[in-house]
């Protein structure tokens, strides 16, 4: 299967939109109507990162049939290269922000300097958790090790066992981090407790004949059902576990994933696989092709717009970060600028390689 599946690129374009939304969310205004909208979109946006892992696992399954281990090796090399480059690029900002926070000059934008960057803990954070330099970089080690584990278990015909094991581990993470019943110190987002479940699920789906998935209406119905259940669960968690007002967004981050997140993401993924032309020749589909680069660039673009907002505050004597300007003007610009910059940068790099 060598042709490109347009719906997968569109899904990645939608996913990178949601990722940027989640990371820009702390700068949204606190008006009640905005908080209701933000809370709803933010909780639904949790489909984004699972979608990236699902697509990666699915394509891994297809490409292994076509290219064998060559594709897997190149994919791991690409993930590792992106991670190293991004870590080096963001390291000065991480150290600088951490220092300023240590000095009390700024607050809430970075972890203070400490063992997360040095020693054995720093090595573990960097090599496995991917959070030594920037929290958002966790995606790369999680995907890298998920693919490596799939390779091992697939070689010994143990994919079914891997899927079951990853589901159990993911449930443990939810009970520990979201519901706080087990109170185990397990990561919220890593290989074993998060990435492995979705990457393996995508891989298993890829091993099935796509013609067997031609039940579009069923998957759409399941997606709607699980979306409703997901939102109901999020509201329950916010009111009961977080003990906070349902319209306040911060408790949402205390446990970003819950039990209905996975079935919501998988059912939507199965639905769009039945619509291979979904989003074809749209800008969202184009953005999906550059989503990985966009993922790397978006924190810097968000930072530029935050600085711009603070500058406007000083000039105009207003509070841009607490108005709908950020919600309906700056955030769309952050998304578009991030992805257009990704396209330009990739085209430039390609032209140099050629």
Give residue 254's pLDDT. Answer: 54
Q: What is the pLDDT of residues 86-130, one digit of tens each?
A: 999 988 877 776 666 666 655 555 554 454 566 788 889 899 999
Residue tagged 């998920």 (tokens): 146
Q: What does the block give as tokens for 68?
A: 């064998």
Q: Helix, strand, or coil here: 122?
A: helix
pLDDT band at 354 (very low <50, low <70, confident <90, very high): low
Alpha-carbon span 264 to 248, nearest angstrom: 23
**Sign of the four-CA dihedral 198, 199, 205, 210:** positive
Q: Write the DSSP symbol of residue 62.
A: H
228 inside domain: yes
Range of the domain at 154: 6-353
Read off the pLDDT band of 246 (50, 70, 90). very low
CB contact at 8 A, 280 and 69: no
For residue 27, the 8-state DSSP code is: G
Task: Give residue 14's pLDDT band: very low, low, confident or very high (50, 70, 90).
Answer: very high
Residue 211 in any domain: the answer is yes
Q: Which two tokens stand for residue 245?
A: 């007002």
Please state the domain count of the chain: 1
How confident is the model over 130-166, as pLDDT tens digits?
A: 988 888 999 999 999 999 999 999 999 999 999 999 9
Confidence of residue 30 (pLDDT cuts 50, 70, 90): confident
| Two tokens, residue 186 | 């397990």
- In the numeric block, which tokens belong to residue 162? 């891997």
Sign, CA torsion 256/125/201/159: negative
Look at residues 350, 206, 331 and name the one whose alpha carbon lies nearest to residue 289: 350
- Please, what's the largest Cα pairwise distance for the chain? 65
- What predicted TM-score, i.e. pTM, was given to this entire model? 0.90
Q: Give the end-to-end CA distance of the chain in Å, rounded to a whole number.
A: 27
Give the residue ranges of DSSP H helices in the chain. Answer: 6-24, 32-44, 48-67, 69-102, 119-124, 139-155, 159-173, 196-206, 216-236, 261-273, 283-289, 291-316, 324-325, 331-353
Phi-psi region of 108 (alpha: psi -120 to 50; beta: other; left: phi over 0): left
Q: Is residue 1 part of a domain?
A: no
pLDDT computed for residue 65 by the predictor: 76
pLDDT tens column, 313-327: 888 777 777 778 888
253: confidence class by pLDDT, cuts 50, 70, 90: very low
Of 21, 107, 42, 109, which Cα lies nearest the Cα of 250? 42
* 23 in any annotated domain: yes
Q: Residue 37: is its pLDDT beyond 60? A: yes
CA separation for the pair 238, 245 (Å, rounded): 7
Mean pLDDT across the stretch 37-46? 88
């Amino acid at each position: 299967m060598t042709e490109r599946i347009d719906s997968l690129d569109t899904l990645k374009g939608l996913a990178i939109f949601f990722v940027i939304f989640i990371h820009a969310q702390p700068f949204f205004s606190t008006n009640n109507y905005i908080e209701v909208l933000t809370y709803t979109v933010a909780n639904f946006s949790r489909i984004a990162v699972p979608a990236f892992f699902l697509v990666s696992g699915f394509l891994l399954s297809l490409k292994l049939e076509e290219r064998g281990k060559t594709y897997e090796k190149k994919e791991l090399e690409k993930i590792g290269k992106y991670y190293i480059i991004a870590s080096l690029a963001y390291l000065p900002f991480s150290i600088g922000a951490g220092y300023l926070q240590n000095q009390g000059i700024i607050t809430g934008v970075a972890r203070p300097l400490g063992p997360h960057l040095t020693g054995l803990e720093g090595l573990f954070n960097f090599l496995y958790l991917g959070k030594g330099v920037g929290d958002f970089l966790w995606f790369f080690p999680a995907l890298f090790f998920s693919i490596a584990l799939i390779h091992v278990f697939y070689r010994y015909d143990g994919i079914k066992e891997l899927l079951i094991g990853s589901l159990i581990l993911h449930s443990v993470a939810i009970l520990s981090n979201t519901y706080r019943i087990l109170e185990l110190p397990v990561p919220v987002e890593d290989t074993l407790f998060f990435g492995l479940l979705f990457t393996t699920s995508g891989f298993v789906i890829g091993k099935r004949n796509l013609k067997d998935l031609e039940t579009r209406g069923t998957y759409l119905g399941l997606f709607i059902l699980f979306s409703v259940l997901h939102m109901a669960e999020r509201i329950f968690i916010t009111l009961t576990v977080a003990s906070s007002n349902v319209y306040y967004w911060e408790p949402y981050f205390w446990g970003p994933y819950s039990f209905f997140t996975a079935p919501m993401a998988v059912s939507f993924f199965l639905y769009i696989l039945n619509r291979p032309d979904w989003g074809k020749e749209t800008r969202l589909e184009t953005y999906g092709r550059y989503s990985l680069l966009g993922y790397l660039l978006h924190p810097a673009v968000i930072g530029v717009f935050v600085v711009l907002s603070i500058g406007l505050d000083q000039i105009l004597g207003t509070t841009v970060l607490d108005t709908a300007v950020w919600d309906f003007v700056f955030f769309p610009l952050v998304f578009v600028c991030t992805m257009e910059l990704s396209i330009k940068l990739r085209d430039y790099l390609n032209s140099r390689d050629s």
